């Protein structure tokens, strides 16, 4: 009788022991974390494939996340896991979420204080302590330039130095959570990459900016790009863009009087150029810790490009061009103090250069070349009222707030407006608009097409417009033939920078010239394409547009090249993707603004309408974008390849005069007649 209960207790004990061993076995299941990540609706997830023996508990431990959080993202896991099931594991990119690139971290509070003296400004006090104005404002609530008074006691925060090693995964990526007021400029500058590189790994951005709270990929910085990081060709909403301008009060340059300054004075000029002279690292060391094939190929490709033509060569030719202009100005009697500042492609280096007190009194800045550095220098130039010239930047955003900024490269909006006029003027043709399937460029294509259709209305076509859109891939370029008309002129518009697409379209059209009358419109990039035979361009009467195209048969260009050879024993050969010659650019941009200072003094900014210097690769036509903003060079020329192997510049047809008419009730003669009838009655 007594043995039965003991036996029952033994079975219960054995059951508990087996259950404990089972749970321990569950806990010790080895779960390997996945490296596969995906962004869904702005949130980053690991994608984990369930393997035999894995449990929800073990998976949660491997990813350092609770079972509840996994269940929220994958409701079906509560009823059990299946082998091979794909579940989403939220990624917690804490190191990146805490980064706010729009402003440095808030300075720590210390016991330092400063008593304001008569005549001191907030900016001057900040410079004393190697800080920014916003650092002092953050440490002293309610303080501003207008509320600063002698005897006031200010708390001085510690100087902030941000040095952080970013943790990139094996694919060379990390994740950044966008905060309010952050821009692609600030994010790219913080991580030391270009805007184009960020866009390339974030196709969901399109050509807009990042949204608050969005998580974006950041590629690891590699060797320098051959093309500058200065092209951010995003399309802005026109109404929102205009509204942004209206918010800024009109700026009238009241500090300039009507008199010419002392012509004997010395003008101080600073060039911000990213020479960044340094020896290349061995390729083996660059590939040492790289495990993915894509990243290895990218590093090797850029290494070969850098070894063939180092990035510093581009800027050396630009530098030599500036020397020719400076020499010409000095021979004219102009006194110059010229400084060359090496920004080294570094935003921190650029900030340190601007701490030089002497720069506050300079008369002109030229450069820098990268967007993230430009934003820093633009703010400095606005604050100290120093004209700033940017060579490659072609986005209008910075022009909105800096009335001293001169943008040499026309914006994509300006280029598209002129291109749309040309296309619309040929409304009587069979127009075929060709693009590829790249979703990143959809916004640009929609913008251009909208301008073209607006142009059709302006040119008042008498017949219905024949407009066809063809979406091609590289293997299906022959589809374009079905859109051509044998009975009328065909205008094929291909606004692309993709050489492979352009080559495919041009080759297909060239072999149809016996059957169709064809004219092609390309983009500024086409003259730099090397895979297309030039005779194809000439036979197709290719039209392209450019602001800085170089005709090497032009006598002015030949004279400049001879002078360049005389001084430097070589010729400037490096060009941008749009054909802009670095050596000629350095000469022209320096000559234009230095001579403007010589002729008008610092008030040249008010005299641009009457100023036309002789440039090698010009002219420049600067137009102010708003009452409170800066100036954009809007000069765009059109050229045509002719069958005789020459290239001809031509003008876009002007808009026809609008026909005005009165509706019956608005006709003044009819109104007079009706009034007369009323008087008779």
pLDDT at position 492 is 95
pLDDT at position 675 is 54
Confidence of residue 14 (pLDDT cuts 50, 70, 90): very low
Higher pLDDT, 71 or 566: 566
Give the separation between CA 531 and CA 190, rounded to whole angstroms: 37
Q: Which fold has domain 113-155?
A: Membrane-bound Lytic Murein Transglycosylase D; Chain A (3.10.350)
pLDDT at position 576 is 83
626's tokens: 């708003």
Asked if domains 266-410+555-635 and 413-546 share a fold, the reply is yes
* Statement: residue 329 has pLDDT above 70: yes
- Lowest mean per-residue pLDDT among 26-40, 49-63, 493-507: 26-40
User: Mean pLDDT, to the nearest integer, of 79-101?
Assistant: 63
Is the peptide bond preceding residue 613 cis, with omega within 30 degrees of 0?
no
* Statement: residue 307 has pLDDT above 70: no
Residue pLDDT, tens place only, 182-224: 777 778 777 777 777 787 788 767 656 677 777 888 887 754 3
Q: Report the mean per-residue pLDDT for the chain.
A: 77
CATH of domain 31-92: 3.10.350.10
342's tokens: 């090496």
pLDDT at position 404 is 94
Give the separation between CA 355 and CA 402, rounded to whole angstroms: 20
pLDDT at position 456 is 86
pLDDT at position 293 is 73
pLDDT at position 461 is 63
From 516, 551, 531, select the one nearest 640 (Cα to Cα).
551
Confidence of residue 258 (pLDDT cuts 50, 70, 90): low
Question: For a pLDDT cut of 90, what percent of the chain falls above it?
Answer: 27
Residue pLDDT, tens place only, 618-649: 789 999 988 889 999 999 999 999 999 999 99
Contacts of 228 (CB under 8 A, 6+ apart): 369, 370, 392, 576
How would you list the strands of the sheet with 637-641, edge to edge? Answer: 466-472, 430-436, 490-493, 518-521, 543-546, 637-641, 647-650
User: Mean pLDDT, to the nearest integer, of 20-31?
Assistant: 52
Q: How many helices (H) and strands (E) does the chain have?
A: 21, 21
pLDDT at position 179 is 78
CATH of domain 266-410+555-635: 3.40.50.2300
User: Mean pLDDT, to the nearest integer, of 552-568?
Assistant: 91
Confidence of residue 87 (pLDDT cuts 50, 70, 90): confident
User: Mean pLDDT, to the nearest integer, of 503-517?
Assistant: 91
* Statement: residue 659 has pLDDT above 80: no
Strand partners, 269: 338, 364
pLDDT at position 583 is 93
Domain ranges in the chain? 1-28, 31-92, 113-155, 266-410+555-635, 413-546
From 227, 205, 207, 228, select the one nearest 218 (Cα to Cα).
205
Residue pLDDT, tens place only, 438-491: 656 788 888 899 999 888 887 766 668 889 988 887 666 677 888 999 999 999
Q: Which fold has domain 413-546?
A: Rossmann fold (3.40.50)
From 388, 496, 491, select the one nearest 435 (Cα to Cα).
496
Angle between helices 582-600 and 555-568 (to 10 degrees): 100
Give the separation between CA 508 and CA 510, rounded to whole angstroms: 6
Among 35-39, 306-310, 357-361, 369-373, name the most confident range. 357-361
Angle between helices 442-458 and 412-425 (to 10 degrees): 50
From 170, 119, 437, 464, select the one nearest 294 (Cα to Cα).
170
pLDDT at position 420 is 93
* Statement: residue 95 has pLDDT above 60: no
Residue pLDDT, tens place only, 133-174: 777 777 776 677 666 777 788 888 765 444 344 556 656 777
Contacts of 607 (CB under 8 A, 6+ apart): 596, 599, 600
Give the separation between CA 168 and CA 138, rounded to whole angstroms: 32
Give the separation between CA 609 and CA 434, rounded to whole angstroms: 39
């Amino acid at each position: 009788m007594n043995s039965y209960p003991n036996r029952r207790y033994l079975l219960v004990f054995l059951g508990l022991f087996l259950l404990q061993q089972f749970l321990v076995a569950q806990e010790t299941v080895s779960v390997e974390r996945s490296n596969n990540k995906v962004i869904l609706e702005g949130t980053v997830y690991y994608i984990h494939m369930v393997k035999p023996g894995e449990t929800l508990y073990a998976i949660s431990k491997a990813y350092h996340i609770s079972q509840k959080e996994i269940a929220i993202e994958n409701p079906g896991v509560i009823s059990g896991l299946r082998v091979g099931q794909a579940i989403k594991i939220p990624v917690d990119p804490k190191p990146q979420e805490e980064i706010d690139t729009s402003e440095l971290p808030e300075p720590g509070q210390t016991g330092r204080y400063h008593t304001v003296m008569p005549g001191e400004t907030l900016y001057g006090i900040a410079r004393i302590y190697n800080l920014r104005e916003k650092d002092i404002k953050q440490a002293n609530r309610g303080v501003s330039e207008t509320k600063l008074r002698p005897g006031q006691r200010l708390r001085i925060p510690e100087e902030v130095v941000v040095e952080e090693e970013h943790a990139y995964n094996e694919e060379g990526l990390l994740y950044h959570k966008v905060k309010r007021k952050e821009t692609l400029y600030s994010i790219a500058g913080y991580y030391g990459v270009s805007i184009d590189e960020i866009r390339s790994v974030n196709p969901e951005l399109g050509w807009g900016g990042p949204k608050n709270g969005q998580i974006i990929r950041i590629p690891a910085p590699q060797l320098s790009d051959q093309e500058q990081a200065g092209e951010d060709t995003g399309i802005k909403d026109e109404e929102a863009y205009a509204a942004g301008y209206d918010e800024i009060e009109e700026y009238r340059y009241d500090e300039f009087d009507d008199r010419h300054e002392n012509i004997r004075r010395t003008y101080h000029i600073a060039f911000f150029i990213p020479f960044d002279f340094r020896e290349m690292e061995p390729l083996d060391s660059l590939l040492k810790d790289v495990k993915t094939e894509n990243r290895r190929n990218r590093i090797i490709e850029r290494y070969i490009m850098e070894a063939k033509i180092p990035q510093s060569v581009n800027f050396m030719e630009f530098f030599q061009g500036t020397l020719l202009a400076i020499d010409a100005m000095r021979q004219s009697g102009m006194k110059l103090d010229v400084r060359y500042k090496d920004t080294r492609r570094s935003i921190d280096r650029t900030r340190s250069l601007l701490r030089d007190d002497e720069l506050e009194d300079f008369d002109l800045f030229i450069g820098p070349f990268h967007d993230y550095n430009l934003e820093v220098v633009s703010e400095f130039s606005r604050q100290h009222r120093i004209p700033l010239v940017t060579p490659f930047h072609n986005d209008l955003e910075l022009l909105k707030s800096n009335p001293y900024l001169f943008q040499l490269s026309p914006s994509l909006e300006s280029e598209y407006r002129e291109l749309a006029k040309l296309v619309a003027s040929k409304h009587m043709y069979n127009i075929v608009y060709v693009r590829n399937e790249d979703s990143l460029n959809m916004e640009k294509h929609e913008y251009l097409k909208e301008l073209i259709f607006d142009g059709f209305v302006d040119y008042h076509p008498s017949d219905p417009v024949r407009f066809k859109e063809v979406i091609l891939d590289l293997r299906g370029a022959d589809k374009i033939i079905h859109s051509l008309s044998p009975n009328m002129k065909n205008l094929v518009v291909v606004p692309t920078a993709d050489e492979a697409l352009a080559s495919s379209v041009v080759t297909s059209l060239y072999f149809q010239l016996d059957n169709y009358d064809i004219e092609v419109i390309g983009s500024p990039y086409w003259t730099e394409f090397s895979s297309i035979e030039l005779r194809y361009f000439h036979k197709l009467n290719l039209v392209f547009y450019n602001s800085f195209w170089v005709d090497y048969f032009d006598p002015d260009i030949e004279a400049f090249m001879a002078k360049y050879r005389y001084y430097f024993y070589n010729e400037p050969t490096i060009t941008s993707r749009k054909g802009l010659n670095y050596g000629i650019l350095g000469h022209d941009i320096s000559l234009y603004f230095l001579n403007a200072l010589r002729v008008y003094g610092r008030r040249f900014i008010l005299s641009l309408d009457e100023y036309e210097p002789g440039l090698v690769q010009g002219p420049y036509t600067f137009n102010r974008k708003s009452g409170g903003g800066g100036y954009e060079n809007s000069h765009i020329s059109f050229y045509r390849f002719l069958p005789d192997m020459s290239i001809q510049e031509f003008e876009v047809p002007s808009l026809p005069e609008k026909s005005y008419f009165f509706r019956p009730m608005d006709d003044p003669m009819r109104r007079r007649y009706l009034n007369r009838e009323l008087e008779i009655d």
